[in-house]
Amino acid sequence: MNDQSPRRPNVLFFLTDDHASAAISAYGSRVNTTPRIDAIAENGVRFDRALVNNALCTPSRAAILTGTYSHVNGVTTLATPMDSGQPTFVSELKAAGYRTAIFGKWHLGHGEGHDPQGFDHWEIHADQGTYTDPVFLTADGPVELEGYATDLLTDRAIAWLDEQEGDEPWCVLVWFKAPHRPWVPHERHMGLYTAEIPLPETFDDDYSGRGTPAHHATMRVAEDLTDVDLKEDPPEGLDYDGLARWKYQRYMADYLRCVAAVDENVGRLVDHVAARGEAADTLTIYGSDQGFFLGEHGWFDKRFMYEESLRMPLVMSYPRKVPAGRSTEALVSNVDLAQTILDAAGVPAPPRMQGISLLPTLAGEADAPARDSFYYRFYEHDDREHHVWAHYGVRTDRYKLIYYYADGLGLPNTRNTTYPPEWELFDLETDPQELRSVHDDPAYRDVRDELTGQLAKLQAELGDDAYVRPSPAERAAALGRL
């Protein structure tokens, strides 16, 4: 291949589990540095408003792979495995001659109809996976490996790349379990983050400006972290605030150590691709399946449509076609990634895909297509673990409207109760931390009415139905698992 001829890019796609942009220095982290993730942004584009359609692992991964919203791909909750026969960017790339592989967290179900399809090769964690001595499920059965999962996945991806012969481009997904709960660091990182980690400004939030769901959720650093998360006993005699602060330090130190291992391994793989002489023609993507609360509002976990969990970190580079060193505030989405990758590869996207290719935005085109409003829906209602209520909503450049629709789509909730629906409206310009809903403020009546209309319009455009009920299979799955 001569250097002038356009080459279809390789795709190197890192996805982490629960990595908030507040723990990435390219996004201005106050708590850590991530030089190798930052380097991807420096060589390409940092997306400052990349939003997920449903801030939970399984649904977000299904949206990323299929380029569709949850009501289209059928993966609404953690308990709804994906029909993996539906078209994904990977299956389309493979059909177009790419060599394709995935290493790491899949979390979209196992067995016939749910195992990865469209991949030449797959080695995946069972469900959530483990940090140490992981078992990888493969087409030939389970394989037990000794070591630290973040390192091992990278080793396996490098080995697979080096086994490939021929000139066709490749697409490798390296989807880390880290830094998901219970945050188990490698020994080599235990010396990091021993100094005090600064608290986020909203750590002592009392939820007074929000509706019932924020009060009701059980994901408080002070109350809901367990022994497995904390790994040591707190000192005696701490009051509520003292205990909250001690737990925050414990939680964050391990979380950031897990991130340090990710950052190193991102670097290792990026360096390996460069050593293979493929840096210029590789589309490198780093993202996370959702954001995460790192003590903001006193919380860990995600699920809510609030900014910290709604926003995924997303940086991409593709030196042959994408100028270095830019950032964008365009409202982009996890649903856009499939079409972006296919566009870069010159492979047509199946018409059912519902996103927007980000390639024009990446290339810095002035008239790049963009959305002016974004649709979110979280389906698990009052789940057993964190008790977040089901909700949907719309986010625009300035505002966010959230509707907690309360009936759980007929899904069970653990307290066997229903709640009256509630609304929240945030003005992100005057209240970026979302501390005061202005839904009932007469000054915002017009904004509220406009957004309510916008929400209905988005649901109609995307084919979602506010009142749709789950299928019998979905309901059975939820009854068994939620």
Characterize 444-476 residue by residue with b for buried, 16 or more Cβ atoms within 10 angstroms of its Cβ, and e for exposed.
Answer: beebbeebeebbeebbeebebeeeeebeeebee
Q: What DSSP letter does each residue of 390-438 carry, written as one string?
A: PEEEEEESSEEEEEE--SGGG---TT------EEEEEETTT-TT-----
Task: Decide if 259 contacts 34 (C-beta within 8 A).
Answer: yes
Residue from the set 18, 254, 422, 474 that interacts with Ca ion by CB under 5 A: 18
Q: Name the minimum Å distance from CB 186 to ligand SGN.
A: 18
Q: Name the minimum Å distance from CB 72 to ligand SGN.
A: 20
Q: Name the minimum Å distance from CB 426 to ligand SGN.
A: 23
From the list Ca ion, ligand SGN, none, pick the one residue 49 interacts with, judged by a Cβ distance below 5 to 8 Å according to partner type. Answer: none
Under rule CB under 6 A, residue 310 binds ligand SGN: no
Under rule CB under 6 A, residue 130 binds ligand SGN: no
Under rule CB under 6 A, residue 182 binds ligand SGN: yes
Task: Give the count of residues interacting with ligand SGN (CB under 6 A).
Answer: 13
What's the length of the chain? 482
Do the bridges between strand 422-427 and strand 50-51 make them parallel or antiparallel, or are there none, so unpaired? unpaired
Which one, 107 or 245, has the nearer CB to ligand SGN?
107
Under rule CB under 6 A, residue 296 binds ligand SGN: no
Single out the segment in contact with ligand SGN by CB under 6 A; choices: 174-182, 336-344, 361-369, 372-380: 174-182
From the list ligand SGN, Ca ion, none, pick the one residue 396 interacts with, judged by a Cβ distance below 5 to 8 Å according to partner type. Answer: none
Residues in CB range of 241: below 8 A, 6 or more apart: 204
461-470: long-range contacts (C-beta < 8 A, 24 or more apart)? 462/69, 462/71, 462/72, 462/354, 462/375, 463/71, 463/72, 464/69, 464/71, 464/375, 464/377, 464/392, 465/71, 466/392, 466/405, 468/71, 468/409, 469/409, 469/410, 470/76, 470/409, 470/410, 470/411
User: Inter-axis angle of helices 337-345 and 57-66, to 10 degrees?
Assistant: 30
Tokens of 238: 């701490």
Q: Name the minimum Å distance from CB 17 to ligand SGN.
A: 5
Give the footprint of ligand SGN on residues 66-105 (CB under 6 A). 78
Under rule CB under 6 A, residue 224 binds ligand SGN: no
DSSP 246: H
Which one, 369 or 414, has the nearer CB to ligand SGN?
414
CA dist., res. 318 & res. 6, Å (int): 13
Under rule CB under 6 A, residue 301 binds ligand SGN: yes
Which one, 107 or 186, has the nearer CB to ligand SGN?
107
Under rule CB under 5 A, residue 380 binds Ca ion: no
Give the footprint of ligand SGN on residues 378-407 (CB under 6 A). 385-386
Rg, Å, the chain Cα set: 22
Q: Name the minimum Å distance from CB 182 to ligand SGN.
A: 5
Q: What DSSP letter does each residue of 203-235 carry, written as one string?
A: TT---TTS-HHHHH---BHHHH--HHHH-SPPP
Residue from the set 180, 257, 387, 395 that interacts with ligand SGN by CB under 6 A: 180
Q: Name the minimum Å distance from CB 168 to ligand SGN.
A: 33
Task: Decide if 388 contacts 382 (C-beta within 8 A).
Answer: yes
Do the bridges between strand 99-104 and strand 121-125 make them parallel or antiparallel, or are there none, so unpaired? parallel
Residue from the set 57, 75, 294, 332 that interacts with ligand SGN by CB under 6 A: 57
Under rule CB under 5 A, residue 52 binds Ca ion: no
Site string for ligand SGN, 37-56 (x = CB under 6 A): -------------------x
From the list Ca ion, ligand SGN, none, pick the one residue 301 interacts with, judged by a Cβ distance below 5 to 8 Å according to partner type. Answer: ligand SGN
Under rule CB under 5 A, residue 289 binds Ca ion: yes
Amino acid in the structure at residue 43: N
Under rule CB under 5 A, residue 17 binds Ca ion: yes
Residue from the set 41, 50, 57, 279 that interacts with Ca ion by CB under 5 A: 57
Under rule CB under 5 A, residue 92 binds Ca ion: no
**Which sign, positive or negative, has the C-alpha torsion 373, 374, 380, 382?**
negative
Interface residues with ligand SGN (CB under 6 A)? 17-18, 56-57, 78, 107, 128, 180-182, 301, 385-386
| Contact set with Ca ion (CB under 5 A) | 17-18, 57, 289
